[in-house]
Amino acid sequence: MSEPLIFHFDVDGENFTSAGQASTQVKRNLRQLGLSPDIIRRVSIAMYEGEINMVIHANGGTADVIVTEQYIEIILADKGPGIPNVEQAMQEGFSTATDSIRSLGFGAGMGLPNMKRYTDTLEIDTMVGVGTTITMYVYL
């Protein structure tokens, strides 16, 4: 693989049934590329958490995954409400999810912490009222 591979997905908002489609497809693609199960797992979980966040908080968005020989870059962009306090949002257990979201098993306040846990770098670019872009790298 010399040219980077780029996968683009639109993430539906308010749809928990289809949430995870992008990360499942990425998992399949990475498996076909012969990457290690550990790398695939880390990328899949980080991306799924991002997808779920976009569904819960931002009425959807886009997910781009770029695969090179050195790293996998995941860019999640939405036009949601933005994150007023990133430091607080990064704390395990902090969540603004509603009770109905919690009844589905989400809203544990582990989304962003898990994205950080499973990637090598995580950058959050957010503005209240404008949206959020999260860029993550997993090095190969």
Q: Contact residues for other proteins (CB under 8 A)?
A: 16-17, 19-20, 23-24, 27, 37-38, 40-41, 44-45, 48-49, 52, 104-111, 113-114, 117
3-state secondary structure labels for all residues of the chain: CCCCEEEEEEEECCCCCCCCHHHHHHHHHHHHCCCCHHHHHHHHHHHHHHHHHHHHHCCEEEEEEEECCCEEEEEEEECCCCCCCHHHHCCCCCCCCCHHHHCCCCCCCCHHHHHHHHCCEEEEEEECCCEEEEEEEEEC
In the bound state with other proteins, the residue whose beta carbon lies nearer, of 79 and 109, is 109
Q: At closest approach, how far in Å is the CB of 94 from other proteins?
A: 12
Q: At closest approach, how far in Å is the CB of 2 from other proteins?
A: 29
Rg (CA), the chain: 14
Q: At closest approach, how far in Å is the CB of 64 from other proteins?
A: 18
In the bound state with other proteins, the residue whose beta carbon lies nearer, of 40 and 58, is 40
Q: At closest approach, how far in Å is the CB of 16 from other proteins?
A: 6
In the bound state with other proteins, the residue whose beta carbon lies nearer, of 80 and 107, is 107
In the bound state with other proteins, the residue whose beta carbon lies nearer, of 71 and 94, is 94
